[in-house]
Amino acid sequence: MSEIMVQGAPIESLIAVTKATEFRPDIYVNQENLTSKEGIRSAFGGSLLGQSAAAAAATVPPTFQIYSLQSAFLRAVTPKEKVRYHVERILDGRGFASRIVRATQGSNNACLYSATICFQRNMPVGNVLDYHVPMPEEGGTLPDSIRDGKAQEMMAAITGRSVPLIQLGVKEDPFDWRPFDHPPAGEPTKFWQRTFVRSPTIASKDLQVHQSALVYMSDAFTIGAALHANPNKVGKKLSNVTMAVTLAANLSIHEPTARVDEWMFAQHETSWGSNGRVVIHQRYWDVKSGRLIMSGTQECLIRLKDASKL
């Protein structure tokens, strides 16, 4: 196998893939085991998101950056078993490229996850429309004024040990999350989660590494926006939750030169829940410039205990 990425910051090894030369061209496998937690049968969805982005990026020139990712989680993945990422080259144009990535596992090659990933060449494009949703006011609060590890402490305090969610400690999490603001839970659609976040310094100068890391990050804390917006339904320490998994993730990356190791401001909120599913919206801004870096939606399956048994 030939190495595609080298180890640097923890996130670099978590998204790293290698070319599987014993198979046909454009098949890649993960370098490290998928992110998981003891007692959880599946793996963190961000692993599949980030690694599929890295595999697709390995098949385009370095001047091409991801602008869109649309994906579906189809089956549970086995964390300690290698995942094969089959990349199909759909379009190779002068300014745009598209790939379909299918993640498989096991001897039967069952498809666990699929993604359509689109790239645009990073070059001047002349006179264009240029605008974005402004970053929310943070009232002068700076990331360094918020204690490191506060996000993990808050999650541990409001999430029971038996809840089927992957909770990472400060030393396990590849990102530094600093929770900033959320209103009291009432009307679910009026609730939001706001955090500052960045990774440790990334050794690679390849912007595609930063983009794959952003894609991985997009699955962290996201489902919590719907859970914590409905405290009466989910119960104390989420004790009524029996399942919480991602079904689909759709992302748009707006700033091709954004670095994941610089402070970002993230906001997560939910707009809808019914039929066992919820929709969550997320936006990430660069703190220094205020520019919108990434936005997206995630659809998740949340199952609760039978009301008659509560």
pLDDT in tens, 223-278: 999 999 999 999 988 889 998 999 999 999 999 999 999 999 999 999 999 999 99
Confidence of residue 1 (pLDDT cuts 50, 70, 90): very low
- Specify which residues 84 forms β-bridges with: 29, 104
What's residue 6's pLDDT?
46
Range list of β-strands (E), the chain: 2-3, 17-19, 27-30, 64-73, 84-92, 96-105, 110-121, 176-181, 192-198, 241-253, 264-274, 277-286, 292-304
Single out the residue of 218, 177, 200, 195 nearest to residue 141, CA to CA. Answer: 195
Q: Is the pLDDT of residue 126 over 70?
A: yes
Confidence of residue 31 (pLDDT cuts 50, 70, 90): very high
Q: pLDDT digit string (tens) for 177-236?
A: 999 877 776 799 999 999 999 999 999 989 999 999 999 999 998 999 999 999 999 998
Q: Which residue has the tokens 């029996």?
A: 242
Average pLDDT, stretch 56-75? Answer: 97
Strands 84-92 and 96-105: antiparallel
Q: pLDDT digit string (tens) for 286-304?
A: 999 999 999 999 999 999 9
Distances (CA, A) of 183 to 133, 189, 278, 305: 20, 11, 19, 26
Q: Is the pLDDT of residue 13 over 50?
A: yes
What's residue 225's pLDDT?
92
What span, in angstroms and rounded, lies between the C-alpha atoms of 256 and 147?
Answer: 30
What's residue 163's pLDDT?
64
Range with lowest mean pLDDT among 6-10, 28-32, 119-123: 6-10
What's residue 150's pLDDT?
76
Return the amino acid letter for 117. Answer: I
Strands 292-304 and 241-253: antiparallel
What span, in angstroms and rounded, lies between the C-alpha atoms of 143 and 160?
Answer: 27
Read off the pTM: 0.92
